[in-house]
């Protein structure tokens, strides 16, 4: 199997909405960030993070971007200084 392909068994048992629900549940229950929740689920389901990105909703992607900006992994967006 290619490295970036999502396993067929995972696709049969999971869709994007279900994966997003699992991410949200982990963030709430375990009080962790979105990036860590996605990585933990990737380990649990044995998929690559690049493949899991295709299953994420826009709001979760935006929350991950904010987390990345807060820890200086991503450049901050053009916000006006107050």
Q: How far is CA 12 from CA 6, 18, 33, 37, 77, in A?
A: 10, 12, 27, 21, 37
pLDDT of residue 14: 62
pLDDT of residue 45: 85
Residues of the chain below pLDDT 70: 1-14, 78-82
List the domain boundaries for the chain. 8-70
pLDDT of residue 81: 63
pLDDT of residue 13: 56
The secondary structure of residue 5, as a DSSP letter, is: S
């Amino acid at each position: 199997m290619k490295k970036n392909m999502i396993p067929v068994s995972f696709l049969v048992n999971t869709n994007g909405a279900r994966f997003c629900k699992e991410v949200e549940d982990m963030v709430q229950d375990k009080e962790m960030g979105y990036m860590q929740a996605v990585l933990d689920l990737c380990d649990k389901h044995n998929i690559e993070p690049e493949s899991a990105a295709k299953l994420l909703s826009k709001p979760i992607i935006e929350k991950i971007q904010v987390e990345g900006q807060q820890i200086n992994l991503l450049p901050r967006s053009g916000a006006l200084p107050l």
